[in-house]
């Protein structure tokens, strides 16, 4: 049997990606609870298995065995369609993520574009879930979620365009390859391309927090205002899928930040590049995301939109123009 035949390769990556997404969702919940516990001077889950490591398994069983309550007067199609619409694009985005130079499901030239195409779909899941639930809190949350996602997609995309102008490619693996040879070749420290690279990274990171509805931007599910936001009416696995989608989106957002700015699978000192470096960087970023959630209070929706339209977008645009100018003018001065 030829292990490199196309159907087997396809199957292997399909199983691998789904397993990676599901395991991440499960164990990021565990990590989140553990980190929250230690931030709050508690222990966190500890009863099920050593260090509570079996907790996600038990939680999953609980979610799957729970009755799926479907309220009256909902839109039956949209209500059922929403959770997969949130999860599937997130899982699909893993297809082009290069975990290492060779470990990538599909090394296509438009990888970056594809991820953003899929990332724009998941907002539809939020909108339909909120709209289909026939619940006022869910509708408010859906409206918030959409305006938030639209507002933050713009500075994020402008920053990504800046990156593409510098890298000249949409191929994620190629972007990582350009960052080889030590920490100062990572784009976050590539001052010669654009002196504001660090701020580009911060804009990108902030936007990915907002895109994934994470605290302090978790306005779509602000539980002290909107009960549970757009998934108020979902129970059992319907809620579970929303949850998995959310964590998959966090992983995607942090993966992109790693690939674009932190050198992906490249090693900081130029030795032994590989999947381990990608995972280390990825989980450091995810850990930061979790830490932010348990440290900051929530912003308000208008504070959030003001931040995007009045601060991030003008700055991202300035950054874009500056980068363009650098690309054109730099070679003229130093040919």
Partner 1 sequence: MSVLASSDCKETFVLNLGPQHPATHGVLRVKLTMDGEYIRHAEPVLGYIHRMHEKMGENRTWAQFMPNTGRLDYLSALSYNHGYVLAVERAAGIAVPERAEYIRVITVELNRISSHLVWFGAFILDLGGFTPLLYAFDDREIILDLLQAVTGSRLTYCYFRFGGVYNDIEPDFITGTLAFIKRLRERMPMYHNLVTKNIILIKRLKDIGFVPAEMCRKYGATGPVLRGAGVGYDVRRAEPYSVYPELDFDIPTYPEGDCMARYMVRLDEIEQSMRIIEQACAKLPDGPVMAEKAPKIIKPAKGDYYAAVEAARGSFGVRLVSDGTTTPYRLKLRSPSYSNLSLFGEASRGMLLPDALALMGSLDLVIPEIDR
CB of 4 to partner 1, least distance (A): 49
DSSP 179: T
Report the C-alpha dihedral over residues 114, 109, 320, 300, rounded to 10 degrees: 20
Beta carbon nearer to partner 1, 177 or 293:
293
Query: SS3 letters for 249-261?
Result: HHHHHHHHHHHHH
Q: Is 5 left (phi over 0), alpha (psi -120 to 50) or beta?
A: beta
Residues of this chain that interact with partner 1 (CB under 8 A) are 36, 39-42, 136-137, 140, 215-216, 218, 222-225, 227, 293-303
Residues sharing a CB contact under 8 Å with residue 62, sequence separation 6 or more, in sequence order: none
Residues comprising the chain, all counted: 335
Least distance (Å) between residue 129 CB and partner 1: 19
CB of 212 to partner 1, least distance (A): 16
By beta-carbon proximity to partner 1, the closer residue of 89 and 130 is 130
How far apart are alpha carbons 36 and 290 in whole angstroms? 8
CB 26 → partner 1: shortest distance, Å?
A: 21
Nearer to partner 1, 140 or 252 (CB): 140
Q: 125 vs 229, which CB is nearer to partner 1?
A: 229
Closest to partner 1 by CB, 114 vs 219, is 219
Q: Nearer Cβ to partner 1, position 40 or 192?
A: 40
| Minimum CB distance to partner 1, residue 279 (Å) | 28
Tell me the CA distances in angstroms from 106 to 6, 9, 120, 255, 319, one per residue in order.
11, 10, 20, 16, 31
Cα–Cα distance list, 20 to 14, 24, 33, 116, 117 (Å): 10, 6, 20, 20, 21
Nearest approach, Cβ of 207 to partner 1 (angstroms)? 17
């Amino acid at each position: 049997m030829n292990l490199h035949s196309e159907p087997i390769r396809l199957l292997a990556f399909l199983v691998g990606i789904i397993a990676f997404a599901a395991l991440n969702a499960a164990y990021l919940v565990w990590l989140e609870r553990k980190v929250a516990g230690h931030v709050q001077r508690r222990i966190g889950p500890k009863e099920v298995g050593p260090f509570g490591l079996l907790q996600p398994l038990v939680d999953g069983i609980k979610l799957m065995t729970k009755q799926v309550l479907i309220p009256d007067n909902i839109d039956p199609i949209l209500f059922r369609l929403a959770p997969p619409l949130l999860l599937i694009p997130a899982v699909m985005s893993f297809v082009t993520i290069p975990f290492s130079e060779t470990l990538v499901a599909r090394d296509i030239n438009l990888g970056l574009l594809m991820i953003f195409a899929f990332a724009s779909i998941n907002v539809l899941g939020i909108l339909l879930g909120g709209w289909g639930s026939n619940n006022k809190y869910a509708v408010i949350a859906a409206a918030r979620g959409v305006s938030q996602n639209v507002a933050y997609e713009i500075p994020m995309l402008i920053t990504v365009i800046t990156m593409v102008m510098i890298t000249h490619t949409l191929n994620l693996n190629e972007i990582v390859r350009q960052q080889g040879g030590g920490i100062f070749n990572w784009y976050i420290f590539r001052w010669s391309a654009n002196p504001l690279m660090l701020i580009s990274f911060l804009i990108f990171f902030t936007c990915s927090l907002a895109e994934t509805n994470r605290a302090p931007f978790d306005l779509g599910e602000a539980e002290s205002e909107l009960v549970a936001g757009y998934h108020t009416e979902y129970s059992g696995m319907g809620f579970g899928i929303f949850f998995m989608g959310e964590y998959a989106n966090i992983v995607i957002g942090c993966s992109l930040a790693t690939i674009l700015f932190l050198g992906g699978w490249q090693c900081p000192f130029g030795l032994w590049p590989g999947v381990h470096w990608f995972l280390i960087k990825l989980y450091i970023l995810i850990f930061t995301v979790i830490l932010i959630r348990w440290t900051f209070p929530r912003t308000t929706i208008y504070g959030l939109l003001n931040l995007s339209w009045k601060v991030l977008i003008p700055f991202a645009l300035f950054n874009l123009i500056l980068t363009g100018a650098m690309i054109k003018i730099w070679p003229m001065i130093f040919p």
